[in-house]
Structure 1
């Protein structure tokens, strides 16, 4: 697993629990589209969790996050 993806994951894992919550993913996506209202992102985030939360526990682990980051390179973009 790439250290780059682990570093990006850690950046979005704001509470440091090793999992990304819906709120943390929403904040990450909102950071990519600053003009978007968070409420407008709920459908996008729900779809991402439906596809990438493979164990269906409501969180994204780092191993679940990597394929998402690979398919959505904006998540790994440096500001």
Structure 2
């Protein structure tokens, strides 16, 4: 796993628990697109979790985050 993705993951994991919540992912995306209303992001975040939360625990681990980051280079 790339140190670059681990560092990006750590930046978005604001509580440092080793997993990203929907709120943390929403904040990350909102930071990339500051003019987007948060209501518009909820559907995007749900879709991302549906695809990348492979163990369906409601969080993104670093191993689940890496494919997401590879497909959304803006996260980096």
- TM category (shorter chain) comes to over 0.9
Structure 2 residue ranges without an equivalent (≥5): none
Equivalent in the alignment of 1:19 = 19
- Give the TM-score normalised by the residue count of structure 2: 0.99
Give the total of aligned pairs: 76
The runs of at least 4 consecutive aligned structure 1 residues that moved more than 4 Å come to none
Equivalent in the alignment of 1:59 = 59
Structure 1 residue ranges without an equivalent (≥5): none
Equivalent in the alignment of 1:39 = 39
Equivalent in the alignment of 1:68 = 68
- Give the TM-score normalised by the residue count of structure 1: 0.95
- 1:50 matches 2:71: no
When the two chains are superposed, the root-mean-square deviation of aligned CA atoms in Å is 0.3
